[in-house]
A and B are shown apart, each in its own frame.
Chain A
Amino acid sequence: MKVTHLAHAELSCYDVEASRDFLCDVFGLVEVARADGSIYLRCWGDWQSHSLILSPGTRPAAAHLAWGVDDPSQLGAIEEALAARGVETWWEKDEAFQSPALRFNLGDGQVYELLSNERRTPIGDVQSRLHAQPLALRGVGVEPRRLDHCHVGTNAFDTTSAVFRELLGFKIREQVNLPSGEPLTHFLSVNSQVHDIAVRRANGLDFHHVALWIDSREHMLRSAELLCHRGYPPEIGPGQHASTQAFFCHVKEPSGNRIEMFAAQYIVYEDWTPQQWTTEQKVAMERALGFCPTDLHKTMHREQEALEAVAG
């Protein structure tokens, strides 16, 4: 069994309605359902029934990150394999739009979910006239095409990376190494994307962002201006990442969850060789690419420590 893609992310929101208004009216996602206090949102280019779930919570976090799988009949075997590694697992039966799903926690408190069947039908009145496009464009807000990836800082780095690679089919595409030589960040993907999840060594659980795909840098630059007009100036960017080659922009939604706009990544093939960076090389390249690296790395605590160690 292999994971196919990041299917949806559930964000904890202390103001669900404000987050909904921002993500729908400014970002242009479509509200597709409400259930049990949660609001389900979808990007126009996502085939799954929803891309994000906004749920009541006390602080910014990803309440769970859900993955589609190619062979749900193998979930029992995955459950056993996780249990053999001492990983806590359980079956979630109450989430809307889906059958019971296997959930697990790798020790840091981050909840992951493997879907046993994913509803992938377009919904009613916003269906596109283009047969290969799930929803119609509405011309409202940023309108990112789809959910792209997530970035998780964790004190369970080794376990998380190992489980994703050894049980779920992920591969390392890029790796950032600390001065000690141990990996700081793994960019992991299970398809041709450069990453479906970035896992970063951190002191605790530090969910960094969920990323939504933007088709072009030009679209992102115009979106940055729109965000300024609407009172949500970007936290960082738009700018150029060194790893992933991607163009990016970070903005905090009203409940404090960081949303990344992500464009212009490269794609990988099965024979891809993982690319290696030292923290020093990565920061030097980001500086050369024209934005202040401390802006980016101050939001990534452990990396900042590593930088200080390099500087010292």
Chain B
Amino acid sequence: MGPWIALAVGGLWAAGIFLLLRRSLVKAVLGLALLGYATNLLLVAAAGAARRAAPIVPPGAEALPAGAADPVPQALVLTAIVIGFGVQAFVLVLLKRLHAETGSDDLDHLEGRGP
């Protein structure tokens, strides 16, 4: 499981960076979204991908059973997803405003060099 997640994280990062380096701002936003997903996956994997049982202490026991997932990274990922959602919404509105102002989503037209 671990190597596959590592590959997925690496692939998503690569795709995200590739999109960020494009001139089109729409692609840059998609790239940022991919980077966000990759990082969330990384956070889950960092806690150990093999530990997948629900982190509930059984009645009568004092500690979590072996193989229980660590709940902390899941809380972190949840926070990161919420923050990422808000930020992406803002970026989309910013892009829409920029498109209304310049009629283009090309980085080269930002400074008024284009049409």
**Chains A and B belong together in one complex:** no
